[in-house]
Each structure stands twice: as C-alpha cells, then as structure tokens.
Amino acid sequence: MAIGLEHFLILSAVLFAIGLYGVLAKRNVVVILMSIEIMLSAVNIAMVAFSRYGQFITGQVFVIFIMVVAAAEAAVGLALIIAIYRRRKTVDADKFDLMKW
C-alpha cells in the first residue's frame, strides 16, 4: 500500500490530538508549552503534505513562518514561566490565578 496524502494527514491529526490532550490535562506549565510545540509540529506536517501532494511550494513557505512564530512563542513563554516561578515558586497552572476573578 503506497503512502498517500491521507497517511500524513492522519499522522498529523494523531499528533495534534496528543498535543491537545497535553494542553488541556497537564498542570505543569512547561509540559503545556511542550504540548503546544507538538501541536505546531503536527500542523507543519499537514502543511508540508499538502504542499507535496498539491505541488505548491507555498505550504513550505508557511511552515518556515510557523517555525519562526513557534520559536518566538517558546522564548517568550519560557521567559514568562521563569519570571512567574521567581515570584510564586511554582509552575503549576492551577496556582496561576492572579488574573482570575
């Protein structure tokens, strides 16, 4: 059975679902950020698959921009986590309730 577009899309969906579960269920903020990275990578796989099977190079250009945004997001997110950890001595998402009312 030849590998087709569907295989890559289903792999992408599986990885995205795993990341979604991690974001919703985990309490450690670093693990939540790691799950977000998994979700972004899953989207990248779908983009590259469409780019390859639709024969448009634009999909790969978009993947480059997604990588740029993912790197910026990881840098700022981890800086935020470290800043909050210094003040609150925790990385538990359930305890970050300063902006809740």
Partner 1 sequence: MGLQIAFWILAVVSVVAALAVVSLRNIFRAALFLILCFFAIAGIYVTMGADFLAGAQVLIYVGAIGVLIIFAIMLTREGREGSPSGRLRVPALLIALIFLITMVLVVTGTDWGAVTEGSSGPTTSAIAEAIFGEDSGFVLAFEIAAALILAAIIGAIVLVRDK
Q: Kindly identify the residues of this chain, within the stretch 26-55, that bind partner 1 according to CB under 8 A.
A: 26-28, 30-31, 33-35, 37-38, 41, 44-45, 48-49, 51-55
Measured from the CB atom, the residue of 68 and 101 that comes closer to partner 1 is 68
Q: Least separation, in Å, of the C-beta of 15 and partner 1?
A: 6
Cα separation, 79 vs 14, whole angstroms: 29
CA angle 32, 7, 48 (to 5 degrees): 65
Residues 6+ apart with CB under 8 A from 11: 45
Measured from the CB atom, the residue of 71 and 101 that comes closer to partner 1 is 71
Q: What are phi and psi of 28, to 5 degrees?
A: -75, 125
Q: Least separation, in Å, of the C-beta of 8 and partner 1?
A: 7
Intra-chain end-to-end CA distance of the chain, in Å = 55
Determine the size of the site formed for partner 1 (CB under 8 A): 72
Asked whether the beta carbons of 47 and 62 are under 8 A apart, the reply is yes
Binds partner 1 by CB under 8 A, chosen from 24, 98, 99, 101: 24
> Any contact of residue 97 with partner 1 (CB under 8 A)?
no
> Any contact of residue 90 with partner 1 (CB under 8 A)?
yes
